[in-house]
């Protein structure tokens, strides 16, 4: 383990594991409750490398580590077997219910790749339009390059999600990427479409599965993992558990090699032997059941297929529908199983356009309109993962709208006659090759129109509250900084001005009651006595640390400056009460954006000081950190100037 030596010395000098009553941590400190504090050797602990200092406060024995305290805490718990205290008050970070937890997990995994997802979706939509209008020939080199540009991200989606889900689950990111690459490895993909299977499992049953190859004699039931979502997330979660288990037993001296080696060796085959078959069989069972249901009641089947189509796509279960549909085309000349799902792009377009019109969040507008356009062209991933899924009501409105469209298609006995595109490019699929435009086609047109309009109306008037995305404030031009002239005279280069993250009265850091902040051990800066309960981003950057209780947040600016904002003193003890984060760890933020809100008066009534230190934790990397001389600051005033 990375901090094994540090942890052993800490435990030894606080009186051993048996002297620990409980343990938690905040942004910078391990917070112990000891049975007997007299057994702790303060001076010896202060001498330990990586320990900043020791503090006795609020009935706790606090060891100040720094911004990496979370990693130290996790390893300490793992090494000692202690049960750490859990913070449960932050409901925004821990959604209730398995479905909400699942949606929150998937949307957070997609957050880092949203911009590329949007770009690829737009390119795919434009290319589909150019091809339909015969502007670009499918056999041309132009089409080949543009198609690769738009489709590569979606084809290799498991590779990208392998990285982001690994970050989510605590797996080494490149292990996650490797597992994603294995799923879409060319020979694996090609093996799934072999001409002659070795044999067939469960022949004649609902889950009949051709076997094209085996692993150590065990049959491998294959699915198409390209563009899939859930298999790689499940695989990465599995690998993270394997990695943590191996870390317990493999000696530190050989861990860097053997842990990745064994993690891949164990996790990769399990993906193909367990996750693949489960996903494939569920898809086949669902496809057959819904096909049977459609024969009994097209209306009910259309509603069910329409409502759950987004879920089928996310879990990769829709692949189980494909062989049924292809068989229907070959034997019947038409298919009814998958047609309800073809209303999804239109419902998604209506929902996304409503959010685009209603939101006041500039960044969301920039995402929502391209997502609306790509949905019209049949590419729904940007809208799903970038707009609707993170806003659960909007996601449900899409499902409801598609379900209604499915009912209408069932009433009109709508059919598809050929395999083909989605969105507006699905229209030719519903034209009867023998009779042309008939009731089946009319039913499709009515259904998708209703899906688009209903999705828009439900979202605009009911499901979407723009306040949930009010994370921006009006941009205001900061006044000229007198430090600029000072730095010119000194011949130094001004690296960055950081605006105040709170409105209020400035307090010298030396006057903060917490000695760790007051002594400057955690970095240079200034404190603010806030006059309102909002924290703003002092510069463009990324939220690199957000403690679950919401009482402290770390932002790394685009210039690499690491800023720590700690609301109040010992407010970690409130366990998230009165704090409402507006961002998540890993989010990109813009200067002036609201990062979190807190109930100022309620915190005071609980007896806590609300003086908020704002420090540059990596200030030693720069020539100087200069604090403002203003006694009162607003969020557009310069608070700190970092000089390089």
pLDDT in tens, 201-219: 888 887 888 888 899 999 9
Tokens coding 287: 């496809």
Q: What angle do CA 635, 602, 509 make, to 5 degrees?
A: 50
pLDDT in tens, 359-370: 988 778 888 898
pLDDT confidence of residue 193: 66
* % of the chain exceeding 90 in pLDDT: 25
pLDDT in tens, 48-72: 888 878 887 656 788 888 767 778 8
Hey, which residues are catalytic here? 26, 566
Between 556 and 107, residue with greater pLDDT = 556
Between 9 and 95, residue with greater pLDDT = 9
pLDDT in tens, 68-114: 777 888 888 888 777 655 433 333 344 556 666 676 677 678 777 87
CA distances from 534 to 264, 486, 520, 600, 601 (A): 45, 32, 25, 9, 12
| Pairing mode, strands 494-499 and 53-57 | unpaired
Beta bridge partners of 55: 62
pLDDT in tens, 494-525: 567 899 999 999 999 888 888 888 888 888 89
Distance from C-alpha of 218 to C-alpha of 201, rounded to nearest angstrom:
12
pLDDT confidence of residue 536: 92
pLDDT confidence of residue 514: 82
Task: Report the topology of domain 4-80.
Answer: Gyrase A; domain 2 (3.30.1360)
Using a cut of 0.75, tell me whether the model's pTM lies above it. no
Q: Is a pLDDT exceeding 80 seen at residue 38?
A: yes
pLDDT in tens, 592-631: 899 999 999 999 988 889 999 999 988 877 777 888 888 8
> Please, are residues 501 and 595 in contact by the beta-carbon 8 Å criterion?
yes
Q: Is a pLDDT exceeding 90 seen at residue 261?
A: yes
Q: Is a pLDDT exceeding 70 seen at residue 400?
A: yes
* % of the chain exceeding 70 in pLDDT: 88
Q: How confident is the model at residue 490 (pLDDT cuts 50, 70, 90)?
A: very low
Three-state DSSP class for 44? helix
Three-state DSSP class for 351? helix
Tokens coding 109: 């995994």
Mean of pLDDT over the chain: 82
pLDDT in tens, 432-468: 878 888 888 999 999 999 999 999 999 999 999 887 7
Distance from C-alpha of 218 to C-alpha of 216, rounded to nearest angstrom:
6
Sign for the CA dihedral angle at 268, 269, 270, 273 comes to positive
**Residue for token digits 């329409």?**
306
pLDDT confidence of residue 317: 65
* Of 192, 166, 198, nearest in space to 179 by CA: 166
pLDDT confidence of residue 287: 66
Architecture in CATH of 482-643: Distorted Sandwich (2.70)
- Residues 321-336 have a mean pLDDT of 69
Q: Is a pLDDT exceeding 60 seen at residue 308?
A: yes
Distance from C-alpha of 592 to C-alpha of 582, rounded to nearest angstrom:
13
How many CA within 13 A on the CB side of residue 101? 5
**Three-state helix/strand/coil letters over 368-390:** HHHHHHHHHCCCCHHHHHHHHCC
pLDDT confidence of residue 319: 60
pLDDT confidence of residue 494: 54
Distance from C-alpha of 247 to C-alpha of 73, rounded to nearest angstrom:
16
Domain boundaries, the chain: 4-80, 98-134+297-470, 482-643
C-alpha 583, offset from chain centre: 11
For residue 139, what are the contacts with CB-CB under 8 A and spacing of at least 6? Answer: none
Neighbours of 151 (CB within 10 A): 17
pLDDT confidence of residue 353: 96
Between 431 and 487, residue with greater pLDDT = 431
Q: Is a pLDDT exceeding 90 seen at residue 254?
A: no
- Residues 224-237 have a mean pLDDT of 84
Largest CA distance in the chain: 91
Q: Is a pLDDT exceeding 80 seen at residue 293?
A: no
pLDDT confidence of residue 104: 67
pLDDT confidence of residue 455: 95
Q: How confident is the model at residue 241 (pLDDT cuts 50, 70, 90)?
A: very high
């Amino acid at each position: 383990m990375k901090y094994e030596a540090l942890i052993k010395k800490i435990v030894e000098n606080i009186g051993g594991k048996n002297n620990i009553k409980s343990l938690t941590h905040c942004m910078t400190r391990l917070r112990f409750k000891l049975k007997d504090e007299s057994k702790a050797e303060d001076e010896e602990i202060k001498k330990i490398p990586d320990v900043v200092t020791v503090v006795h406060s609020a009935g706790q024995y606090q060891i100040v580590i720094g911004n990496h305290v979370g990693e130290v805490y996790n390893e300490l718990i793992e090494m000692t077997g202690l049960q750490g205290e859990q913070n449960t008050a932050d409901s925004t970070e821990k959604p209730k219910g398995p479905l909400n937890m699942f949606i929150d997990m998937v949307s957070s995994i997609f957050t880092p790749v949203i911009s590329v997802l949007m770009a690829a979706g737009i390119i795919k939509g434009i290319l589909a339009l150019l091809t339909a209008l015969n502007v670009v020939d499918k056999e041309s080199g132009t089409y080949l390059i543009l198609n690769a540009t738009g489709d590569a991200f979606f084809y290799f989606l498991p590779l990208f999600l392998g990285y982001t889900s690994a970050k989510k689950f605590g797996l080494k990111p490149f292990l996650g990427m490797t597992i994603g690459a294995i799923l879409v490895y060319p020979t694996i993909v090609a093996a799934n479409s072999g001409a002659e299977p070795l044999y067939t499992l469960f022949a004649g049953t609902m889950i009949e599965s051709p076997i094209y190859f085996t692993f150590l004699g065990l049959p491998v039931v294959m699915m198409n993992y390209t563009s899939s979502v859930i298999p790689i997330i499940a695989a990465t979660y599995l690998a993270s558990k394997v990695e943590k288990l191996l870390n317990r037993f493999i000696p530190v001296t050989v861990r860097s090699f053997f842990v990745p080696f064994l993690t891949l060796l164990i996790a990769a085959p399990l993906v193909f032997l367990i996750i693949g078959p489960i996903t494939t069989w569920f898809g086949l069972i669902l496809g057959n059941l819904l096909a049977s249901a459609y024969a009994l009641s097209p209306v009910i089947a259309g509603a069910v297929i329409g409502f759950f189509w987004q879920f089928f796509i996310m879990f990769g279960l829709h692949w189980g529908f494909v062989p049924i549909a292809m068989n229907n085309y070959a034997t019947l000349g038409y298919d009814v199983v998958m047609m309800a799902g073809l209303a999804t792009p239109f419902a998604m377009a209506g929902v996304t356009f409503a959010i685009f019109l209603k939101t006041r969040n500039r960044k969301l507008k920039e995402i929502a309109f391209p997502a609306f356009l790509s949905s019209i062209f049949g590419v729904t991933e940007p809208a799903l993962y970038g707009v609707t899924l993170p806003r659960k009501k909007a996601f449900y409105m899409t499902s409801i709208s598609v379900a209604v469209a499915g009912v209408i298609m069932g009433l009109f006995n709508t059919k598809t006659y050929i395999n083909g595109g989605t969105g507006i490019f699905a229209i030719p699929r519903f034209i009867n090759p023998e009779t042309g435009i008939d009731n089946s086609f009319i039913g499709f047109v009515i259904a998708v129109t209703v899906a688009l309009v209903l999705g828009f109306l439900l979202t605009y008037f009911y499901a979407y509250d723009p306040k949930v995305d009010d994370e921006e404030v009006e941009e205001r031009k900061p006044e000229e900084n007198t430090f600029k002239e000072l730095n010119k005279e000194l011949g130094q280069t001004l690296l960055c001005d950081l605006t105040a993250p709170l409105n209020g009265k400035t307090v010298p850091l030396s006057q903060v009651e917490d000695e760790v902040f007051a002594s400057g051990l955690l970095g240079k800066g200034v404190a603010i006595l806030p006059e309102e309960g909002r924290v703003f981003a002092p510069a463009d950057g990324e939220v690199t640390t957000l403690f679950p209780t919401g009482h402290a947040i770390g932002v790394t600016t685009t210039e690499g400056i690491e800023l720590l904002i700690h609301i109040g003193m010992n407010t970690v003890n409130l366990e998230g009460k009165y704090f409402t984060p507006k961002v998540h760890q890993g989010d990109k933020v813009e200067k002036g954006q609201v990062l979190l809100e807190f109930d100022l008066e309620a915190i005071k009534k609980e007896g806590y000081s609300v003086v908020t230190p704002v420090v540059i934790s990596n200030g030693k990397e720069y020539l100087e950190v200069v604090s403002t001389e203003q006694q009162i600051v607003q969020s557009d005033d310069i608070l700190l100037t970092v000089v390089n």
